[in-house]
Amino acid sequence: MKRFGNFAATVGMALFLVCLSVAYAFAHEGHEGPQTTAQEAYEQNTRKAMEDFLHHLSYHVGQGTAGSGQQEAFLRETRRDGVWKHKSVYLIATLGGKVYSHGKYLRSLWASDLSDVPEIGKLDVMLENYPGAREEMHGTLGPVCIKYDLEGYQTPRWACAILPVNQQYFYYAGFDHAEGHEAIEHLECEEESLEITAAQVEASQREEDLRKFVRQAMDAAGDALSEAGLSQALKKMQCIADAREGRGSPWRSDSVYVFVMNAGTSGVIYNGNNPELNGTTFRNVLDEDEVDIEKEILRVAGAHGEGDFVRYKWDNPAIPGDEVNEAGKSPGISPKLTYVEARRYEGYERYGTFIFGSGIYPEDMMEEGGDDDGCTIAGASASDAGSAVLNMFMIMFSLCFALCLRSRSAGE
């Protein structure tokens, strides 16, 4: 969506990510308007069926996010086979043209740009020229639709796009493409030499190396803010937390990676191991020792310029079989030692306090089972304040998004 203004969308990504909260209730109950499913849209392969599918989507997006910031929970649901995904019909959600959610290729295409893919580009232009697109965008844009040829099908398929009312994600449905489509512009991160890399932290297992590694990430994001502004700072955080494997990044080595949270909402802005966790919260997540991970991180991260180590159980990506798939539980049982530190950036205080963290899985913790005084929970959680901060961010985002679009329209 380069045509819609990268700055507005990038600001939207930052604010919207930190506002994402607890799970959305996905009961597929009866409601007014279309209730077309992905399977029905796939089997009928008509423009009306695909439009009705997106109108159905628009209804549930509005129900799940109005005043609550719970859209990420809905996006996770759209990536599962069922109401929102069936064969070649699945959903792609973008911000600023960058993939935030993808029904088939989230891990490999997260943060990639699809704007130059011909079918996506055509839909973008149609949305940009949709009646009301150059106004303050209080209403839904679309659906808009095209026909395209899909390998393996004798007749053309329908692909459509929509921007639901008061939303920031652009949704595409019915467009199926190859993972390695030549027109996809992948996230490009500059090569850089770090004082200490993720691989060195993993090899040394030293707490001081882990602390330095996290502070490097904090400083890198701060330098990008001061030198190039918010847009480049967010790209820097995307590169630091790039979850794709085999890229040779100094910021990731097997089980060592960086994550970034917002202290006010406990929302995960980026997770360097699994983009599925982007936008989720640690709220009410306990490990097998009943450690409340959110409370521990918020307590230990401290105020600006402080920080310390926290111990809890988590999924070690280097060890198969330690995973846990249970609501309200940590995703793994491997003892983890994590360094977390909070920082506010001068001139960007309105975006809140960021918490940077990274961890290791020490062998001695594996042997001891992770029991440590650091697991004791003390003090009150910042969760109670999260709702107020959430509402503030949603209001700020709406104003910023409208102003940026108005400025862009005036400039044209």
Residue with tokens 């409340």: 292
**Strands (E) located in 88-140:** 91-95, 98-102
Residue 177 Cα distances to 88, 91, 361, angstroms: 9, 12, 38
> What's the pLDDT score for residue 384?
33
What DSSP assignment string belongs to 216-244?
Answer: HHHHHHHHHHHHH-HHHHHHHHHHHT---
> What's the pLDDT score for residue 30?
62
The residues facing 92 across adjacent strands are: 102, 172
Rounding to the nearest 10 degrees, give the CA dihedral for residues 153, 105, 7, 123: 10
Instruction: Give the residue from 85, 98, 87 showing the smallest Cα distance to 2.
Output: 98
> What's the pLDDT score for residue 188?
85
Instruction: Give the residue from 75, 79, 99, 76 showing the smallest Cα distance to 89.
Output: 79
> What's the pLDDT score for residue 4?
38
d(CA 160, CA 250): 39
Q: Where in the chain is the domain with CATH 3.30.450.20?
A: 198-381
Instruction: Give the residue from 113, 26, 32, 100 showing the smallest Cα distance to 64.
Output: 26
> What's the pLDDT score for residue 117?
96
CATH code 1.10.357 for 2-173? no
Architecture of domain 198-381: 2-Layer Sandwich (3.30)
Question: Model's pTM, two decimal places?
Answer: 0.66
Please identify every stretch of the chain with a pLDDT value under 50, giving residue numbers as ranges.
1-27, 65-69, 137, 367-412
> What's the pLDDT score for residue 369?
42
> What's the pLDDT score for residue 77?
84
